[in-house]
Amino acid sequence: MSSSSRLSSILLLFLFVFTLITASEGNFYENFDITWGGNQRAKILNGGQLLTLSLDKTSGSGFRSKHEYLFGRIDMQIKLVPGNSAGTVTTYYLSSEGPTHDEVDFEFLGNLSGDPYILHTNVYSQGKGNREQQFYLWFDPTKAFHTYSIVWNPQCVIFMVDNIPIRVFNNMESMGVPFPSNQPMRLYSSLWNADDWATRGGLVKTDWAHAPFTASYRNFNANACIWSSSQSSCASKSTNSLQTTAWQDQTLDAPGRNRLGWVQKMFMIYNYCTDFKRFPQGLPPECKRSRFL
Ligand SMILES: *[C@@H]1O[C@H](CO)[C@@H](O)[C@H](O)[C@H]1NC(C)=O
């Protein structure tokens, strides 16, 4: 083999490998824009397979999806800020835009080393939230990557952690409760300092001696309907999924209800649906069903 043909076959091989990487599933370059803290605090690494957000004394960082979705299943593996993360908040949520926006929220409130994170969740529909539920996790979310998922279809929104449902918001439009059903949403994530309220209501302050604080993301997967504003429709289904689960009509089956019951019994630390003091006029209408899924 001449040296020039060897060179061209090496080049071909490089091109081939490069194409494989750029076309691979869940690539962060293809699916996300860094919206905050670019270059210094937000980084896409390993050819787009890993993303890190960090927070230092100057500021935090964040990213958002290039696409807007209208129903789908979104999965992301996240490893949260380790060690003393008190005062930091890592958000991971779907949101539409405008005053009557819809939003499905995961927020991870950091803590002192050895003390548990709080997973804070909320659902906004037509601009109205106030539907908080909070949980401890059954593992240390800083030691390894875990999968946080949102299943969103016309029947319900399901929050899942490692494929275990932790919360369900059912479509109860028939009972007058708005449901996120017609506003396309983007996926967002950010890492920021919230030591004015996050850890024990703001009592524990962020310890900047431990900065920068870093959270890592990988294996993004959207098995979802991608919104196209020019056509006012879902133009394409993303195909970057090996999963065969049909999210389109997924609701909680009996094993799902059992697991949800286990999480709510063992790990739920706040539920707006049982906060009678907060709603002296009566609990919100969706609470009638959400306690007995
Ligand atoms: C931090 O740990 C304390 C003590 O275990 C706990 O009461 C609190 O809920 C934890 N989470 C936050 C965000 O403060």
Give the pLDDT band (50/70/90) at residue 240. low
- What's the mean pLDDT when you consider all of the chain? 89
Q: How far is the CA of 139 from the centre of ligand 1 (A)?
A: 15
Q: How far is the CA of 199 from the centre of ligand 1 (A)?
A: 7
Q: How far is the CA of 117 from the centre of ligand 1 (A)?
A: 7
User: Is the domain defined by 3-289 classed in CATH 2.60.120.200?
Assistant: yes
Among the atoms of ligand 1, which is closest to the Cα of residue 269? 9
Condensed to tens digits (0 to 9), the pLDDT of residues 47-105 reads 999 999 999 999 999 999 999 999 999 999 999 999 999 999 999 999 999 999 999 99
Among the atoms of ligand 1, which is closest to the Cα of residue 111? 1
Choice from 88, 89, 112, 115 to test ligand 1 binding pocket (greatest atom count within 8 A of CB):
115
Question: What are 42's two structure tokens?
Answer: 């937000």
Catalytic residue IDs: 103, 107
Pocket of ligand 1 (CB under 6 A): 109, 111, 115-116, 118, 198-200
Residue range 268-287: mean pLDDT, rounded: 95
Q: How far is the CA of 235 from the centre of ligand 1 (A)?
A: 44
Give the pLDDT band (50/70/90) at residue 18. very low
